């Protein structure tokens, strides 16, 4: 199995609902350094997993929908705790949609899966991985 990963980041504000979050129920924020991994069983005729330039562009496009915003006010997340885990799934799902829409190139339709890791600090991160 092969994989290629590209990294980007976003800086957002949000708050959580639920006693488990303690003081993080207050409005605060985070930089998420985001790693998007694309998996594939065999390389394509160019010897690549995916066009890395397109992969970077699409990751940046997905993050641009969230970057520099207060997620508490985004309709997509109404009534949803935008935890690191949940954001990892949100970003992975958007990348899979982009793959299905052909935005990572025709060859990307052979991808086997996508994984997204969000680093919220030097001591904590969360991931979500799914098949295509």
Q: Among candidates 85, 2, 76, which has minimal Cα distance to 44?
A: 2
Minimum distance from residue 11 beta carbon to a second copy (Å) = 5
Could you give the 3-state DSSP secondary structure of residue 76? helix
Minimum distance from residue 127 beta carbon to a second copy (Å) = 5
Residue with tokens 């985001």: 34
Q: Which burial class, exposed, middle or buried, applies to 125 when counting CB atoms under 10 A from its CB (0-12, 13-18, 19+)?
A: middle
Tell me if 64 sits within 8 A of 44, measured CB to CB.
Answer: no
Select from 74, 93, 103, 120 the one that contacts a second copy (CB under 8 A): 120
Select from 11, 65, 76, 102 the one that contacts a second copy (CB under 8 A): 11
> Rule CB under 8 A: is residue 94 a binding residue for a second copy?
no
Distance CA 43, CA 45 (A): 7
Query: C-alpha dihedral over 34, 35, 36, 38, to 10 degrees?
Result: 180
Select from 57, 61, 74, 80 the one that contacts a second copy (CB under 8 A): 80
User: What does the per-residue mask of binding to a second copy show for 27-66, with x meaning CB under 8 A?
Assistant: xxxxxxx---------x--xxxx-xxx--x----------
> Rule CB under 8 A: is residue 4 a binding residue for a second copy?
yes
Q: Which burial class, exposed, middle or buried, applies to 2 when counting CB atoms under 10 A from its CB (0-12, 13-18, 19+)?
A: middle
Select from 21, 76, 100, 109 the one that contacts a second copy (CB under 8 A): 21
Interaction site with a second copy (CB under 8 A):
1-9, 11-14, 16, 18, 20-24, 26-33, 43, 46-49, 51-53, 56, 67-70, 80-86, 88-89, 105, 120-130
């Amino acid at each position: 199995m092969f994989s290629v990963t590209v990294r980007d980041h976003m800086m957002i504000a949000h708050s959580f609902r639920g006693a488990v979050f303690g003081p993080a129920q207050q409005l605060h924020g985070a930089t998420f350094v985001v790693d998007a991994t694309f998996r594939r069983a065999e390389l394509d005729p160019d010897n690549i997993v995916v066009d890395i330039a397109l992969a970077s562009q699409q990751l940046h496009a997905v993050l641009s929908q969230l970057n520099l915003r207060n997620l508490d006010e985004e309709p997509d997340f109404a009534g949803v705790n935008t935890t690191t885990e949940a954001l990892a799934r949100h970003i992975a799902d958007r990348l899979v949609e982009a793959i299905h829409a052909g935005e990572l190139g025709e060859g990307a339709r052979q991808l086997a899966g996508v994984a997204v890791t969000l680093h919220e600090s030097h001591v904590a991160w969360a991931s979500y991985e799914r098949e295509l």
